[in-house]
Chain A
Amino acid sequence: MLANFIWWTAIALEVVILLRSGLTGLLKKYPLFFSYIGCVLLTEIIRLLTNALAPKLYEPLYWPVELVTILASYAVMVEIFRWSTRHKPGIRRLTQRALLTVFALTVAYAASNFVHGKFSSPSRAVAALGRDLRYVEAGILLLMLWLLLRYRIPLGRNLRGLLIGYSFWVGVNVVNLALWFVPGNEFSILLRRLLPATYLFTLGIWCVTLWSVYPEPVQPAETKIERDYELLAAKTQAVLARASTRLARIMRP
């Protein structure tokens, strides 16, 4: 009963987020994020229908669908990265390199685990791949969060809400996945029961922070900076001219 309630509430919240984004115009601004929400909505409807109409198919279908959702969630990171560094060419290059390196390293690690791993069934292999991909995602997200906090990159309220909700969801998911693969762990069972509720909480954060369009942080006006820079350059030029005149006087016989 409770599981069904959470399921339907999640679907309702996702529909609300998508509808609201269409009305406010945020759908055009963050297309990758809302594509992710759309993808999650679709997979949930598939799961719901499978559970109701063909329950035997639910289990074999669970992990492949989960894998698709995890892959789709990478789009959210691309979106966050794209928006948070749009005014910072230097940081953009730095984070791009760092993220690509981490991504390449961890995907190589996950792939090697997948190739060399001894899995009892294909569904187990897909589950392990999904878990490894989530770890990769978590590693990249952690690096991104650290860079954003460390370099104090200003984020608009919408983007901040998106990132906070996403961090909460990935963080809880990673801890849950890590414990899932430890047999007989009681905390894992508790966390697994709590996971749907945490997803609802994440959707709640997104719903509140993406309800309206908030302005992006203002960059200093170019003309004002240029005026300051010109002033600075003019003063340097004056100092140089004065020094040259003095030097010329000294050098004069």
Chain B
Amino acid sequence: MTGLLAIIILGSLILIFGLRLALQSPRTQSPSITLEEFANARDALDTTFVEAAAIERIFSTEDMEFISHSSSPQARRLFLEERKALAIRWLRKTQKQVAQLMDLHFRLAGHTHEPNPRFELKLGTKYLSFLLVSYLLLFLLWLRGPFKARRVVAYTSHVAGYFCTVFSLRLESINAVHLGPDDSDPDPGV
């Protein structure tokens, strides 16, 4: 019965992917990566590293302790709501940024001379686990607030950092000759 189910899933997935291919417009299929995109990805990467300290502050209990000792319950509630919204916004942004990095990674992999299958598999698995944990964190943040989910936050930050490092290494191995031409003047800092 399990085998039968697996085969039916296999057939259904082929049909779904085939349909997706049929619905995909040739424009979105374009894999061309411009020098500008290449530069922007590097900037986004740098920002992620710079923001690390500020992110830790969002989830730090120090501020909460200070507010609890010296403010009214109303101020404490307001502070909690604000931090919760900030934490959720940060998580959404991280998810979006990692998804963008992954997307660019896949597109760049097409231009790389030697993509490593083992590395691709490892990266894919990491990305899946990141998605799973980040959605779990989103649920935890929504349910219990930012100060009760520190361990999951630490894991999410760690995996996001891993993606940035991997992506940085990937950028190093890109053959610039195969990148698409830029519409504007290329940034000298690229």
Contacts and interface: CB of A to CB of B under 8 A. Distances in A.
Interface of A: 88-91, 93-94, 97-98, 135, 138-139, 141-142, 145-146, 148-155, 157, 160, 163-164, 167-168, 170-175, 177-179, 182, 217, 220, 224-229, 231-232, 235, 239
B17 A225 contact: no
B109 A90 contact: yes
Contacts of A175: 7-8, 11-12
Interface of B: 4, 7-8, 10-15, 17-18, 20-22, 24, 26, 28-32, 35, 106-107, 109-115, 117, 120, 176-182, 186, 188, 190
A89 B188 CA distance: 29
A155 B21 CA distance: 10
Nearest to A223: B181
Given A149-B24, A167-B17, 4 more contacts: A142-B13, A148-B21, A220-B32, A229-B176
Contact of A151 (B13, B106, B178): B106
A43 B117 CA distance: 39
B35 A88 contact: no
A150 B20 CA distance: 11
Contacts of A220: 32, 180-181
Contact of A232 (B11, B28, B186): B186
B4 A182 contact: yes
Nearest to B20: A149
B15 A172 contact: yes
Given A145-B18, A175-B11, A228 B35 contact: yes
Contacts of A155: 29
